[in-house]
Structure 1
Amino acid sequence: MAANKTQATAASVEAYFDERASEAQRPDCEALVALLSRLTGEPAVLWGPSIVGFGRYRYRYESGREGEMCLAGFAVRGKELVVYVDAESEAQQARLATLGKHRIGKSCLYVKRLADLDLAVLEALVAGSIAETRRRYG
């Protein structure tokens, strides 16, 4: 079975921000680093070429595929920031309803700027995601 392409690297998170984040995004990136580091108790590490990740967990799917991924993370994607969250539960859906201006994919929370969000709700959303990932994968 092929190895997961997204793995923790020794690349510089600061260099990633210098390359990808706009001047307007930089303070939001630093705020997300502070928040996710505080919630996980782990420093920022670049996973693959584009995910700023915090902590790690091992997963194994019923298919037999297994690997390691960051417990929480985000990325700069053009004009948006993407925060990776597990938001499938009813409680997480309720949080999303009060979060502020965003769009959501399966596990991608897209925001243009943190000023558009209720930061207490964002913190609860990320904390809920971390708790669910730990519950599911140990």
Structure 2
Amino acid sequence: MYELKTKETDSSVIEFIEKIESTKKKQDAYQLLDIFTKATGHQAKMWGTSIIGFGSYHYKYNSGHEGDAPLVGFSPRKAKISLYFTVGEPKREELLKELGKHTTGKACVYINKIADIDVSVLNKLIINSVQFLKEKYPKSSSQ
């Protein structure tokens, strides 16, 4: 059976951020920590070895695949900062047009630095994603 690689851990978020080599990326990570914490009302937790997640929900796909994931999160990776919002939230694409300099992958939004984006739009993306997932998975999202 498939084993999820990205699970909530007891690792310290602060210790993880402190290990970031780039001073600027470390500052951005602390700023994102503050933004996500205020927007979600959830305490940050490490998911796997490199994702800082906020809240959680349990999903189950039609295929039968299921698991737990953070409602939203970010990862200050060496190349870019990955931002995690749900795919399928109705206002996501519209808000991404207003976010500022970024690229997107299948589910991630990538930024170089916070200075490149509009933080008020980031807040909307976070809040909309959390609300969307809590409505879609009401019995399994952490409040």
TM over 0.5: yes
> Alpha-carbon deviations, 1:44-95, whole Å to 9, x = none?
1111111001111111111111111111110022131101012545522111
Q: 1:66 to 1:88 in 2, by over 3 A?
A: closer
Q: 1:136 to 1:63 in 2, by over 3 A?
A: same
Give 1:31's aligned residue. 31
> Alpha-carbon deviations, 1:10-35, whole Å to 9, x = none?
11112211223510111211111111
Q: Distance in 1 between matches of 2:45 and 2:81?
A: 17
Q: Secondary structure of 1:14's match?
A: helix
Equivalent positions of 1:1-138 (< 5 A) are 1-20=1-20, 22-138=22-138
Give 2:131's aligned amino acid: A
Shift of the alpha carbon at 1:119? 0.7
Percent identity between the aligned chains? 35
Give 2:112's aligned amino acid: K
With normalisation by structure 1, the TM-score equals 0.91
**For this pair of structures, how many residues does the alignment match?**
138
The CA RMSD over aligned residues, in Å, is 1.5
Extract unaligned runs of 5+ from structure 2: 139-143
Q: Distance in 2 between matches of 1:9 and 1:89?
A: 27
Q: Please tell me whether the aligned partners of residues 72 and 86 of structure 2 are also in contact (alpha carbons under 8 angstroms).
A: no
Q: Please tell me whether the aligned partners of residues 87 and 125 of structure 1 are also in contact (alpha carbons under 8 angstroms).
A: no
Give 2:81's aligned amino acid: L
